[in-house]
């Protein structure tokens, strides 16, 4: 259960973003590797393998101890062109999985963060895609799913992007404080740096962004980098009904005709602080909300004094708050997109910042929100 300032939907103007100087001075040489260098060649191979990735069935299961002493991960997508180096297989971006995740994102079946690693959020997105397309629903990436995704959208999944002055202007805060009181002392809870800001802008993990752009100084405007081509941010219609599934850890948005507009992975409450039950409505939307911890109004936390944390994408409720008619509850963003569906919340519904923003842009006061 989260408390923050609410305004009626028609008056929910964005909170002002206050200036804060960037922290730290990284003097390391982060110039892009020269053409023909191993790092540049590896990045080029990864990009090509993502664009050309095809489905390959999973390798037969091996014994827990293989000849190399490593366990088989059993991924269902081709590993051709995966990043080499010291990372174990399960931590390397899988080219086919990157392609699938970006295509799912573009078709509004969000896998959460695009990292090339797959996982439960991607399986849930695939299952929702299968259901919406009249396919057998098992959540597994197979030849039929891969073909349906890639034939339905033949555009390239990666694109070039030139870093702008706005991308590097900040304000950046270097490190996000763990203590709410320390966080409340900031002028804004901004991104830690341009790498985090750019990764979130394109729905990517920082590791994948760096793998595609080895050695790049993401804090220097004018550079052209390779990013996920996640398409247009807006939903194809207005949301009339939202269904929050606790069992699936997922949110579905429907229009007035019952057409599914979007699927999002979510973190939904916890055993100690469960999310609401029944049907509620959207009361207001607050872009760039602050976060208020008031021990007199919530059942979680360890007491203490009232704390108001300023707005920012690394604020505990992220970049946007969709206020519900159930007091102190809402649908909101998160400072940790990779943790969606993997951790608990204090009763609210937590999405990645970009998914929460997309949903918020398509809802109006009075939209029904049903918890199942």
Q: For residue 47, what are its two tokens?
A: 């990009």
pLDDT of residue 89: 59
| Residue 273 neighbours by CB under 8 Å, 6+ apart | 1, 299, 300, 344, 345, 346, 347
Q: How far apart are CA 352 and CA 357, in angstroms?
A: 9
Give the H/E segment covering residue 159.
strand 158-162
1-19 pLDDT per residue, tens: 343 333 334 323 332 222 2
- Of 71-80, 205-214, 258-267, the poorest mean pLDDT is in 71-80
Q: Is the dihedral of CA 344, 345, 346, 348 positive or negative?
A: negative
Beta bridge partners of 122: none
Pairing state between β 307-309 and 291-293: antiparallel
3-class secondary structure for 87-156?
CCHHHCCCHHHHHHHHHHHHCCECCCCECCCCCHHHHHHHHHHHHHCCCCCCCCCCHHHHHHHHHHCCCC
Q: What is the DSSP string of 241-290?
A: EEEEETTTTEEEEE-TT--EEEEEE-EE--SSSPPP-EEEEEEEEEES--
175-179, 278-282, 304-308, 347-351: lowest mean pLDDT where? Answer: 304-308
Residue 281: beta bridge partners? Answer: 368
Nearest to 320 by CA among 13, 113, 43: 13
Contact (Cβ atoms closer than 8 angstroms) between residue 356 and residue 340: no
- The confidence score (pLDDT) of residue 168 equals 97
Separation between Cα atoms, residue 315 and residue 191, nearest integer Å? 10
Structural domains of the chain sorted by starting position, each given as residue range(s) with its CATH number in brackets: 9-16+234-371 (2.40.440.10)
Closest CA to 332 of 284, 295, 372: 284
Is residue 74 within 8 A of residue 59, CB to CB? The reply is yes
- Please report the pLDDT score of residue 226 as a whole number: 97
291-293 vs 278-287, strand pairing mode: unpaired
The whole model's pTM is what? Answer: 0.81
Whole-number Å distance between alpha carbons of 166 and 294: 35
pLDDT in tens, 302-329: 656 788 999 999 999 999 999 999 988 9
What is the spatial distance between Cα 75 and Cα 59, in angstroms, rounded to a whole number?
Answer: 8
pLDDT band at residue 342, thresholds of 50, 70 and 90? confident
Q: What is the dihedral of CA 55, 89, 34, 32, to 10 degrees?
A: 100
Helix (H) or strand (E) holding 309: strand 307-309
pLDDT at 224 over 50: yes
pLDDT for 85 beyond 90: no
Identify the weakest region by mean pLDDT among 19-33, 114-128, 189-203, 209-223: 19-33
CB 262 within 8 A of CB 253: yes
| b/e code 71-107 from CB counts within 10 Å (16+ = b) | eebebbbbbbbbbeeeeeeeebbbbbbbbbbbbbbbb
For the chain, give the mean pLDDT.
83
């Amino acid at each position: 259960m989260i408390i923050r300032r609410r305004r009626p939907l028609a008056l929910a103007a964005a909170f002002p973003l206050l200036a804060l100087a960037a922290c730290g001075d990284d003097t390391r040489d982060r110039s892009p590797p020269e053409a023909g260098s191993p790092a540049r060649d590896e990045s080029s191979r990864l990009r090509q393998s993502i664009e050309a990735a095809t489905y390959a069935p999973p390798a037969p299961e091996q014994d827990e101890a293989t000849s190399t002493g490593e366990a088989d991960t059993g991924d269902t997508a081709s590993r051709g062109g995966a990043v080499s180096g010291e990372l174990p297989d399960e931590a390397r971006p899988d080219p086919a999985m990157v392609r699938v995740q970006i295509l799912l994102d573009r078709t509004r079946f969000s896998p959460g963060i695009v990292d090339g690693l797959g996982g439960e959020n991607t399986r849930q997105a695939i299952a929702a895609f299968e259901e919406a397309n009249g396919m057998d629903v098992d959540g597994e990436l197979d030849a039929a799913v891969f073909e349906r995704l890639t034939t339905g959208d033949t555009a390239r999944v990666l694109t070039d992007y030139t870093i702008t002055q706005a991308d590097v202007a900040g304000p950046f805060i270097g490190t996000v404080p763990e203590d709410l009181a320390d966080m409340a002392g900031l002028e804004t809870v901004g991104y830690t740096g341009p790498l985090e800001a750019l990764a979130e802008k394109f729905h990517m993990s920082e590791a994948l962004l760096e793998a595609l752009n080895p050695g790049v100084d993401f804090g220097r405007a004018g550079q052209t980098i390779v990013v996920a081509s996640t398409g247009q941010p807006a939903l194809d219609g207005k949301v009339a009904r939202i269904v929050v599934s606790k069992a699936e850890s997922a949110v579905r948005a429907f229009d007035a005709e019952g057409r599914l507009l979007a699927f999002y992975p979510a973190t939904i409450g916890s055993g100690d602080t469960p999310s609401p039950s029944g049907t509620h409505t959207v009361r207001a939307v607050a872009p760039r909300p602050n976060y208020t911890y008031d021990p007199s109004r919530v059942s979680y936390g360890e007491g203490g004094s009232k704390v108001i944390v300023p707005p920012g994408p690394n604020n505990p409720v992220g970049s946007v708050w969709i206020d519900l008619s159930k007091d102190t509850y809402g649908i909101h963003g998160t400072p940790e997109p990779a943790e969606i569906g993997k951790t608990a919340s204090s009763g609210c519904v937590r999405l990645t910042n970009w998914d929460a923003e997309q949903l918020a842009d398509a809802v109006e006061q009075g939209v029904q929100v049903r918890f199942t």
